[in-house]
Amino acid sequence: MKVLVTGGCGYIGSHTCVQLLNAGHEVVIVDNLFNSKPSVLKRIAALTPEPPRFYKGDIRDRELLDAVFRAEKIDSVIHFAGLKAVGESVRIPLTYYDNNVYGTIQLLHAMREAGVHRLVFSSSATVYGELAPVPYKEEYPVSRASSPYGQTKIAIEYILKDLAAAEPDWSIILLRYFNPVGAHPSGTMGEDPQGIPNNLMPYIAQVAVGRLPEMLIYGNDYPTKDGTGVRDFIHVMDLADGHVLALEWGAGNSGCRAFNLGAGKGYSVMDLLHSFSKALGRELPYRFVGRRAGDLAAFWADASLAREVLGFETRRGIDEMTADVWRWQSVNPNGYPDE
Ligand code: NAD
Ligand code: WQD
């Protein structure tokens, strides 16, 4: 299939492009490079039989999208493009709604105009809200999320469900990611956040490489086995494989369906830190500080629906996640080069 990947230069998108190309699909990326660097394209090309095609631009630019759909015979779209920093979304909610919700609406208009009706969308476990019992199941109603970022994912899920209900030729898959971590095993691709990382794994990696002095652990008084938060960490390569499966399943099914992509089990912040220390061969400096506002104690996926319907299973455990991140960060201490 020829797949348009919005946000294909970003963390999850770039790894997914590698797996798509290696599965024999053609890839066309649209990315405005707001949170990524063009040098990732060479890294993707080095790991795949065919390089992806690339259009630099914004998904809110209807003319650009129409031109891409005219120039390329697209079969399906995987839609990663969007802003994702939870804390920032509280400060500038309108920017988040504009980029994520309006951007998705523009993409949907362009797809419909081009007669392309197959979409895989990057949703998030955050749509389950703050009160859902664990493990999270797809059948739960989506709830109010704890941030404007999360609200954009909920809004887009509703838009996509309404669209599929109104126009039955659409095939739309909502993939609700849990906590993506890890890097390509080659050490040439990984997560490259701009500025100080918001998320746990890139923060640990930057402490390991000496860019940050110590780990701050947000809370050791949660009702969990060691008092630190528990999350369902999923290796980005497993997540990428999940997109290939979803894309192929979506080609034979219509309607709108949500799937959790998680490992189906939780590990604590301390588990991840200890695993990283093993990969590194030394202990990392850390300090317990107060809880971070908006954090939940523990959540993980019920992963059975994706297994039964898509045939999705995670194959890479936390020691592989941390070893792959350390390989990427140690070879590329400052992330991707600018060009
Ligand atoms: P990322 O920031 O690394 O990648 C997103 C890419 O989209 C970047 O390359 C960015 O330049 C591009 N982009 C942003 N706005 C754009 C626009 N308007 N037009 C064109 N390109 C644009 O993020 P990621 O971690 O790879 O996440 C990908 C998707 O998955 C996002 O939608 C995110 O909300 C979702 N998601 C991520 C996580 C996570 O923890 N990383 C968890 C759940 C869901
Ligand atoms: C994990 C655990 C922190 C950093 C976020 C988004 C979510 C989804 C994935 C997009 C928590 C602790 C963290 C640090 C720490 N993204 N922590 N020190 O918050 O589960 O999920 O990313 O959809 O919507 O909210 O991930 O990696 O930020 O935190 O102790 O420096 O690590 O308190 O318990 P989170 P995270």
CA of 61 to the centre of ligand 2 (A): 31
Residue 29 lies in a domain: yes
Predicted local confidence at residue 280, as pLDDT:
97
Residue 320 lies in a domain: no
Predicted local confidence at residue 143, as pLDDT:
85
Residue 246 lies in a domain: yes
Predicted local confidence at residue 80, as pLDDT:
99
Ligand of minimum distance to the alpha carbon of 200: 2
> d(Cα 273, Cα 20) in Å, to the nearest integer?
31
Residues 6+ apart with CB under 8 A from 297: 222, 223, 224, 229, 230
Residue 328 lies in a domain: no
What CATH code is carried by the domain that includes residue 247?
3.40.50.720
> d(Cα 316, Cα 131) in Å, to the nearest integer?
29
Ligand 2 proximity of 129 Cβ (cutoff 6 Å) = no
Exposure pattern of 129-143 as b/e (b: 16+ CB <10 Å)? beebebbbebeeebe
Residue 204 lies in a domain: no
Q: Whose CA is nearest to atom 13 of ligand 2?
A: 200
Ligand 1, atom nearest to 103 Cα: 18
CA of 100 to the centre of ligand 1 (A): 9
CA of 1 to the centre of ligand 2 (A): 34
Ligand 2 proximity of 86 Cβ (cutoff 6 Å) = yes
Predicted local confidence at residue 248, as pLDDT:
98
Predicted local confidence at residue 1, as pLDDT:
98
pLDDT band at 339; cut points 50, 70, 90: confident
Residue 143 lies in a domain: yes
Which of 272, 244, 246, 247 lies closest to 260, judged by CA?
246
The predicted model gives 104-109 an average pLDDT of 99
Ligand 2 proximity of 292 Cβ (cutoff 6 Å) = yes
Ligand 2 proximity of 279 Cβ (cutoff 6 Å) = no
User: Can you state the percent helix, strand and coil of the chain, rounding each to 5?
Assistant: 40, 20, 40
Catalytic residue numbers, as ranges: 149
Predicted local confidence at residue 131, as pLDDT:
92
Q: Tell me which residues have their CB closer than 6 angstroms to ligand 1.
A: 6-7, 9-13, 30-36, 58-60, 80-84, 99, 103, 122, 124, 177, 180
The predicted model gives 158-169 an average pLDDT of 98
Q: Whose CA is nearest to atom 4 of ligand 2?
A: 200
The predicted model gives 50-79 an average pLDDT of 98
Which of 163, 313, 300, 322 lies closest to 238, judged by CA?
313
> d(Cα 226, Cα 220) in Å, to the nearest integer?
7
Q: What percent of the chain has pLDDT over 70?
A: 100
Distance of CA 288 to the CA centre of its chain: 27
> d(Cα 123, Cα 279) in Å, to the nearest integer?
31
CA of 196 to the centre of ligand 2 (A): 13
Count of domains forming the chain: 1
Largest Cα–Cα separation, the chain = 57
Ligand 1, atom nearest to 126 Cα: 43
CA of 29 to the centre of ligand 1 (A): 13
Ligand of minimum distance to the alpha carbon of 284: 2
Predicted local confidence at residue 44, as pLDDT:
98
Ligand 2 proximity of 288 Cβ (cutoff 6 Å) = no
> d(Cα 163, Cα 157) in Å, to the nearest integer?
10
Q: What percent of the chain has pLDDT over 90?
A: 99
Predicted local confidence at residue 244, as pLDDT:
98
Residue 322 lies in a domain: no
Domain hosting 146: range is 2-181+233-262
Residue 92 lies in a domain: yes
Ligand of minimum distance to the alpha carbon of 157: 1
Q: How many CB atoms lie within 10 A of CB 221?
A: 11
In this predicted model, what pLDDT tens digit does every residue of 18-51 receive, in sequence order?
A: 999 999 999 999 999 999 999 999 999 999 999 9
CA of 174 to the centre of ligand 1 (A): 15
In this predicted model, what pLDDT tens digit does every residue of 283-337 receive, in sequence order?
A: 999 999 999 999 999 999 999 999 999 999 999 999 999 999 999 999 999 999 9
In this predicted model, what pLDDT tens digit does every residue of 164-210 receive, in sequence order?
A: 999 999 999 999 999 999 999 999 999 999 999 999 999 999 999 99
